[in-house]
Amino acid sequence: MTLNMDFLVNPKALESRVKEAIEPIFEELESKYGPRDIKLRLADVSFVSMDSTVWCPERDLSIYIDKRFLANEQWVGVLAHEAVHCLGHVKKLEMTYLEEGVAESFSTDYFSRRFPGETLPPSDPRYRIAAGYVKELESRCGSIVKTVRRAQPALSKLTKQDLLGLCPTISESLADVLTARFYNPSECWQPD
């Protein structure tokens, strides 16, 4: 894995902290939601002047973290969010409320346990709404996300019918919104 932190005064110090931070995040993620897609490899983590995202042209994943989150360890929360998108990858345009909701709820929960008393800056309210839908789903069907990923490792590829088959007690409208696309095409610029 390479880390691109050229702009930092002391990139080496942060580089080792990023490497240290990644391991427990993936450990917890995999125990909670099942194993990563083994065809994918985390190749790179970069701090950049754009929105945080994951880029995966083929099998190598790159995590980009908005460098505004360097303050107060907030980047650890962003890393936890983006790590969810590394469990199984789809293009940003294809991401669903289910995947973004899982990423949001995992990262806020992980960050508040890791750094008690610290909070992540408020994100676009849509992320909290997506996390709310996932909570509703989990209240009906417990560890449903792990079950879902056994059938389909990339959460966003799950269809409404698959979801209703795995968790028949949810309403059709909840299944609709969880499997709906989260982003508009205008929000889906990706780095080259």
Size of the site for Zn ion (CB under 5 A): 2
Return the number of the residue (46 or 100) whose C-beta is nearest Zn ion. Answer: 100
In whole angstroms, the minimum distance from the beta carbon of 92 to Zn ion comes to 8
Q: Using the rule CB under 5 A, is 61 a contact of Zn ion?
A: no
Phi-psi sector, 64: left (phi>0), alpha (psi -120 to 50), beta: beta
Q: Rounded to an integer, what distance in angstroms lies between the CA atom of residue 141 and that of residue 121?
A: 30
CB 131 within 8 Å of CB 101: yes
Return the number of the residue (13 or 180) whose C-beta is nearest Zn ion. Answer: 180
Place of tokens 């989990």: 138
Torsion of CA 162, 104, 51, 179, to 10 degrees: 20
Q: Rounded to an integer, what distance in angstroms lies between the CA atom of residue 4 and that of residue 11?
A: 8
In whole angstroms, the minimum distance from the beta carbon of 54 to Zn ion comes to 8
Scan residues 86-115 and list those touching Zn ion (CB under 5 A): 100, 103
In whole angstroms, the minimum distance from the beta carbon of 172 to Zn ion comes to 25
In whole angstroms, the minimum distance from the beta carbon of 84 to Zn ion comes to 7
Per CB under 5 A, residues contacting Zn ion are: 100, 103
